[in-house]
Chain A
Amino acid sequence: MILDFDKHKIPLEKIIEQAVNWLVANYRPQFQAIKWPVEKTLNGIDGLLQIVPPIVIIAAIFLIAWRMASWKVGIFGVATFLLIGFLGFWEDAMTTLAMVISAVIFCVVVGIPMGVIAARSDRFASFIRPIMDAMQTTPAFVYLVPVVMLFSIGTVAGVIATIVFSMPPIIRLTNLGIRQVPSDVLEAAEAFGSTTNQILLKVQFPLAMPTIMAGLNQTIMLSLSMVVIAALIGAGGLGVPVFEGLNSLRVGLAAIGGLSIVLLAMVLDRITQSLGEPRRRAARGSK
């Protein structure tokens, strides 16, 4: 039997379109409810970064990088941002930064509690595991499809896509970090009369912190890669010059856009890597 693909087609496209239209028409308030906090956060942060003079922001970058990593990273950060500014991408870079920060805030606020629940409940952990596997295997811009369907295009939609895409690492590593706390320490905490919350706050979180921070680092890096791709659906930021350049064969534009993104990624990575290292370096040094 010859399979004649031209004659027979599954009308899935039409079905999905109708389903989505139905969803959007009937659940508009719910989707707006999801969009609202993201929009407010994004606009707030973006507004702030755009208003503050670049020199202040660059100084802040230096201080943060120095504090969290080393002065070398501080210099690198300053150099990167100066370059980005002098390439004409300052506003775009600030938008990208705002998108990343907004996305990460939501990832943390939703992701860490979910990680805690997963650490406590084997059932919940096995329930979300396949979901997170799917989320991490799915190519980045495939995410854009459902997001566009439900949230239309634009920067906010881009951030929503980023939130969903970048959340798995922090959920996973919070779960892992908490589960890895030695059981005898937990037993001792219980034996001395701690409540469940006291154990979580005084014992589990502090001991899981290095692992959770490693998760945060991964989430931040994934966010950066995703917000750039979000330029495809009309989001602002550094993705714009890259895609514009690619679309109009302006190679130089695409290249410098790409360079800016790479440098920004490196700075963010260096800064947040130090979060994943165990604290109390001072105590270690005193041995």
Chain B
Amino acid sequence: MTEKVAVKNLYKIFGPNPERAFKLLEDGSGKDDIHQETGLTVGVQDANFSVESGEIFVVMGLSGSGKSTLVRMLNRLIEPTRGEVFIDGDNVTGMNRKQLMELRRHTMSMVFQTFALMPHMSVLDNAAYGLNVAGVDKAKRDERALAALEQVGLDAYAGSYPEELSGGMQQRVGLARALAQDPSILLMDEAFSALDPLIRSEMQDELLKLQEQTERTVIFISHDLHEAIRIGDRIAIMEGGRIVQIGTPDDILKNPADQYVQAFFRGVDPTTVFSVGDVARKNQVTILRHKYAGPRAALERLQEEDREFAYVLSRGKHFQGVVSIDSLREAIEEGTKEDIGGIFMPDIEPVPVDTPLQEVLTVVRQYPCPVPVVDENDIYIGVVSKNRFLRTIEHGLAQSEEAIKAAQTAA
């Protein structure tokens, strides 16, 4: 994975003669002190991070944490006061106007919280806007814009105007506008925050689906924790202009950097954060198909190991099926000598390893046996039992309680 975006020592200080603040920052003054003394506002302070190509990087924080300012420094809608931004190794902060235009027209696109569509242009012209200013001729840009609208399911509305569309649809147009430029980087500034929860969820799915089709680097600003966990590969948490922690959702959940982060994550249902792969255990009896020696031998093995189920794997460790004590006993009684495949418990499907834990709740409940987990090559990884599932929730609740207590004593 290559480093797509790199940010080094980035600062933004609002107000006249912002250099005055640096001396104070070096001396360790806080944001409020600096504002009182100089009237300057510290928007972003010493941001350092990099984003891998193809990842969805979420920048999270409360209002005023500096996240919107930070993302706007990446395409220089806001000029940094100090520090550097690199995209594909090129220094963005040093670019001249022409180079910056090229960057904005071809490499980086942005989606806005308030949609920011041009009210006087049709949906198609809106989607084609970036191509328009880049000088693409009408036929070509309409073609590409229409393709982008198809991707978000709005091609039928190409001739409509923004005022005729609902919020969710308008944001889809905003997304199409960004996609039409075929950028390698998408900046999304609270793109779904203005939508109602149902539509927001749909749009998140949409984004993940689009990401599957064409992998882009996405930098997503959000103040919604659940959104961040749902779509983020990694999360950066900001407070008061500083980046406080960067990590994967479960990194942060397991090891919050400070009480601010901990408090942020309190009340998070861990089943939304962890995937089955995080909790699966390899503690079941497994039978290799080519070594199968008949139902009696299998039954004996299960009784020896005091287990109810055995998981049958191919020579290459691919998951094939599950047999139970009962199904084996039946086979012995009926005297069938057929292949073990006839003794498999019906309708036991394995679950992919990266499935969020939350999504397998029903399956875990319904299956008579622990749910088998496989990786992307169908190779058996382990199982998730009801017990294990409940333990994870219990652990998560306990952590939240700790965090709440800690935050309360700190307050």
Known interface pairs A198-B133, A202-B133. Does A188 touch B161 (Cβ–Cβ under 8 Å)?
no
Q: Does A45 touch B at the CB level, under 8 Å?
A: no
Interchain CA distance A195-B132 in the complex, whole Å? 12
Q: Does A193 touch B at the CB level, under 8 Å?
A: yes
B5 CB to nearest chain A CB (Å): 16
Known interface pairs A191-B77, A192-B177, A280-B161. Does A184 touch B114 (Cβ–Cβ under 8 Å)?
yes
A73 CB to nearest chain B CB (Å): 26
Q: Does A190 touch B at the CB level, under 8 Å?
A: yes
Whether A194 lies near B133 (C-beta < 8 A) is yes
Whether B132 lies near A202 (C-beta < 8 A) is yes
Q: Does B222 touch A at the CB level, under 8 Å?
A: no
Whether A193 lies near B102 (C-beta < 8 A) is yes
Residues of B within 8 A of A182 (CB): 116
Whether B116 lies near A187 (C-beta < 8 A) is yes
Q: Does A132 touch B at the CB level, under 8 Å?
A: no
Q: Does A207 touch B at the CB level, under 8 Å?
A: yes
Residues of A within 8 A of B101 (CB): 193, 195
Chain A positions 88 through 112: 1 when the CB is less than 8 Å from some CB of chain B, otherwise 0: 0000000000000000000000000
CB-nearest residue of chain B relative to A199? Answer: B133
Chain A positions 227 through 240: 1 when the CB is less than 8 Å from some CB of chain B, otherwise 0: 00000000000000
Q: Which of A195, A203, A280, A283 contacts B118 (CB 8 A)?
A: A203
Whether A185 lies near B118 (C-beta < 8 A) is yes
Q: Does A44 touch B at the CB level, under 8 Å?
A: no
Q: Which of B142-165 contact A (CB under 8 A)?
A: 161, 163-164
CB-nearest residue of chain A relative to B97? Answer: A195
Q: Which of B80-121 contact A (CB under 8 A)?
A: 101-106, 109-110, 112, 114, 116-120
Chain B positions 176 through 189: 1 when the CB is less than 8 Å from some CB of chain A, otherwise 0: 01000100000100
B190 CB to nearest chain A CB (Å): 12
Residues of A within 8 A of B75 (CB): 191
Whether B77 lies near A280 (C-beta < 8 A) is no
Residues of A within 8 A of B181 (CB): 192
B364 CB to nearest chain A CB (Å): 45
Q: Does A287 touch B at the CB level, under 8 Å?
A: yes
CB-nearest residue of chain A relative to B102? Answer: A193
Interchain CA distance A206-B129 in the complex, whole Å? 14
Residues of B within 8 A of A266 (CB): none
Chain B interface: which size bin? 20 to 34
Known interface pairs A184-B112, A207-B119. Does A192 touch B130 (Cβ–Cβ under 8 Å)?
yes
Whether A190 lies near B77 (C-beta < 8 A) is yes
Q: Which of B106, B133, B161, B177 contacts A283 (CB 8 A)?
A: B161
Residues of B within 8 A of A200 (CB): none
Interchain CA distance A193-B129 in the complex, whole Å? 10
Residues of A within 8 A of B134 (CB): 193
Whether A192 lies near B102 (C-beta < 8 A) is no
Whether A187 lies near B133 (C-beta < 8 A) is no
Known interface pairs A203-B118, A207-B120. Does A187 touch B129 (Cβ–Cβ under 8 Å)?
no
B402 CB to nearest chain A CB (Å): 41
Interchain CA distance A182-B118 in the complex, whole Å? 10
Chain A positions 251 through 284: 1 when the CB is less than 8 Å from some CB of chain B, otherwise 0: 0000000000000000000000000000010010
Whether B110 lies near A192 (C-beta < 8 A) is yes
Interchain CA distance A189-B101 in the complex, whole Å? 11
Interchain CA distance A193-B161 in the complex, whole Å? 23
Residues of A within 8 A of B129 (CB): 188-189, 192
| Interface pairs (7), CB distance under 8 Å | A188-B112, A188-B117, A189-B133, A191-B110, A192-B177, A198-B133, A207-B118
| Residues of B near any A CB (own CB < 8 A) | 75, 77, 101-106, 109-110, 112, 114, 116-120, 129-130, 132-134, 161, 163-164, 177, 181, 187
Q: A190-B77, A191-B112, A283-B163 are in contact. List 11 more A-B contacts (CB 8 A).
A: A182-B116, A185-B116, A188-B110, A188-B117, A191-B187, A192-B129, A193-B130, A193-B134, A195-B133, A280-B120, A283-B164
